[in-house]
Structure 1
Amino acid sequence: MKKIAVVLAAVMVFVLAGAVCAQDVISIGHTVSLTGGASMWGQSEARALDMLAKKINDAGGVLGKKIEFVRYDNRNDGVEAVNVARRLVSDGVVAVIGPAQSGNSIASAPVFERGKIPMVVTTATNPYVTIDQRSGKVRPYAFRPCFIDPFQGTVAARFAVTDLGAKKGAILYDVGSDYGQWLAKYFEEAFVEKGGTIVAKEAFRTDELDYRAQLGKIKELTPDVIFIPTSQKEAAMAAKQARDLGIEAVLLGTDNWGSPDLIELGGSAIDGGYFVNLADLADPDIQDFVAEYKA
């Protein structure tokens, strides 16, 4: 929840800098995956933002104006994310929150840049969200409060080798996801650099939920750890299938795992796993908000 508050605070910077429209309402765009493979994440994000906006509005708003979200479902689809971006530019919002996913953010960034509308993503961690991959230049209208994938991929690999003593690693990732592809790359590079060996690198396609064929190949190579940079739903399914196959390797994940949904979906199959996260859910500074969110 804390990262959502940070994102909304970042958007307020643009509003206070003079981007406020003449009406009595400040319209902020929100491109979010309310349906599709990332719907659990998107729905919780929308709820958290609405709660924070209500607090701001109840306290008098910003410069005496109420905040409203112009929200569209991008369905966790790159093409639809671009369509949503175009609609938000046409709607004349002062700034945009989202998308949360790297692929959707990379696809949307040029649209908002042409419209000169600041895009503040929530959890999109790929470096090319804020950097044009072709030119290497920083995108002037793309912002984020979170870390980037080279960092979390390296942290996960270093933890595996240094803290867990892993010598052999395997990777199970979504070949259709910028997030999964790049994190697999960064983890592999760091794991090898630290002295480990990647014995298997198995891919699946977006929204595929049966990984038994890939996991069967991984099992034969007896890795110490399996790195799974996916959503909570995919990670939970992979964990269950891995344990059903008798795989005892430690499961490692990324910030996408950082939700109670992972435990609800994966149950005991997740026990003993580790993941890199953007925020500490036990942080005392966010407990009031967490309690309100759960109420």
Structure 2
Amino acid sequence: MFAGCKPAQRQAGTSQAIPVGVYLSFTGSTATFGESTFKGIQLAVEEINAKGGINGRQIEIHKEDDRSDAQEARSAVTKLIQRDKVVAVIGEVASSRSLAAAPICQENRIPMISPSSTNPKVTQVGDYIFRVCFIDPFQGTVVATFAYQTLKVRRAAILTDVKNDYSVGLAQYFKETFTRLGGQIVAEKSYSEGDPDFRAQLTAIKAANPEVIFVPGYYSEVGTIARQARELGITVPFLGGDGWDSPKLVEGAGDALEGSYFSNHYSHESTDPVVQEFVRKFKARYNGEVPDALAALGYDAANILFDAIKRAGSAEPSKIRDALAQTKDFPGVTGKITIDEQRNARKPAVILQVRGKEFKYVQTIQP
């Protein structure tokens, strides 16, 4: 797709709205990822347009649903670039879908900002691909260090979703750090996103007698995994990454994840005034809903893009790209954001604990 195509021509006029594309999973297995992220983006757009837009031009959002599917992500981005003539694209959450769509943005020289794809390979696609989240080598290190130093466990099992680049990468970085610290991986098992039954893998894990089980998957399976583990008599806590962050996590798990931990990009409980102001505005806009990390990252991704357009003094994609690359100490909701030479964001992570239906703040870990 798009092989040999010239970059789509953008209109360079100054009076019309600035078209920005958004592709996310509004339906399918990880629909809450798209819904939450878009609420953050929408809030940022409404705020900037209410202030008169950028250089006198309103932001106009064109959105596409990729249905939680990598091939659909390619189609969605193609439509945004070719049909809607967007000057930049925000998306995706899942790394496999960002990796599917990024080459199209790169080939057409349209800046793409992923709010929350953490696999390192995403920004390695090319110099038009950015992210505003930390990456998995850091996240895997954070969780492994927390397990070893804070929980003081020495025996861990890993259950990986082999269908997703995110899960495979995060499992690898957890394993590297945990073993380097002196821990032992006593079992490594796998599943594929969409699987309904994990009892065979969990039975093997139980026999290996771990003190903790690391499941770097998406919320859509983690709840079921935890529930089936408890039915088999496994009592040790689970650990996870930011893919757990969804209100549906506890829905699927019941109380099976009570006391378990996962790494994330921010906590709404933070006392930082930037965070509290965002939480206040989000709750006012969305009927009291508390924003999760995906909403916060969507908000940050949109605002970093708008800041870059403003600094570029232009809606030309190449100038937006250059301005994005120069982003330094941007006061984001998820932390101060500086885009490094690899177009990744250097920033802290937080550890949260599942308590009841809430994710309670435990600690912050700096890069």
What letter is aligned with 1:104? R
| 1:57 equivalent in structure 2 | 49
Which of 66, 86, 101 aligns to 2:94? It is: 101
Structure 2 Cα separation of the partners of residues 207 and 70 of structure 1: 29
Residue deviations 1:151-180 (CA, integer Å, cap 9, x gap): 111111111111111111111111110001
| 1:272 equivalent in structure 2 | 259
Q: 8 Å contact 2:162–2:190 — kept in the other structure?
A: yes
What letter is aligned with 1:66? Q
Stretches of 4+ moved more than 6 A in 1?
A: none
**Is 2:241 the partner of 1:235?**
no
The structure that is helix-richer by fraction is 1
Structure 2 Cα separation of the partners of residues 83 and 260 of structure 1: 28
- How far has the Cα of 1:183 moved from its partner? 0.8
Q: Calculate the TM-score normalised by the size of structure 1.
A: 0.87
Residue deviations 1:232-286 (CA, integer Å, cap 9, x gap): 2211111111112111111001011233332333231111111111112212423
Residue deviations 1:199-249 (CA, integer Å, cap 9, x gap): 111111121132122111111111111111111221111111111211111
| 1:38 equivalent in structure 2 | 30
User: Aligned residues: percent identity?
Assistant: 40
What letter is aligned with 1:193? R
Unaligned runs of 5+ in 1: 1-17, 133-138
| 2:67 equivalent in structure 1 | 75
Which of 218, 221, 225 aligns to 2:212? It is: 225
Q: 8 Å contact 1:21–1:94 — kept in the other structure?
A: no
More relative contact order in 1 or in 2 (CA 8 Å, sep 6+)? 2
Structure 2 Cα separation of the partners of residues 287 and 89 of structure 1: 33
- How far has the Cα of 1:41 moved from its partner? 1.1
What letter is aligned with 1:234? E
**Is 2:79 the partner of 1:87?**
yes
What letter is aligned with 2:143? A
With over 3 angstroms needed to count, the CA separation of the structure-2 counterparts of 1:21 and 1:44, relative to structure 1, is farther
Q: Calculate the TM-score normalised by the size of structure 2.
A: 0.71
With over 3 angstroms needed to count, the CA separation of the structure-2 counterparts of 1:23 and 1:245, relative to structure 1, is farther
Structure 2 Cα separation of the partners of residues 253 and 19 of structure 1: 44
What letter is aligned with 2:237? V
- How far has the Cα of 1:59 moved from its partner? 2.4
| 1:7 equivalent in structure 2 | none
> Equivalent residues in 2 for 1:130-279 (5 A)?
130-132=123-125, 139-279=126-266
**Is 2:108 the partner of 1:121?**
no
| 2:365 equivalent in structure 1 | none
What letter is aligned with 1:166? V
Structure 1 Cα separation of the partners of residues 287 and 232 of structure 2: 35
Worse-matched range after superposition: 96-105 or 257-266 = 257-266
Structure 1 Cα separation of the partners of residues 129 and 178 of structure 2: 30
Structure 1 Cα separation of the partners of residues 34 and 219 of structure 2: 12
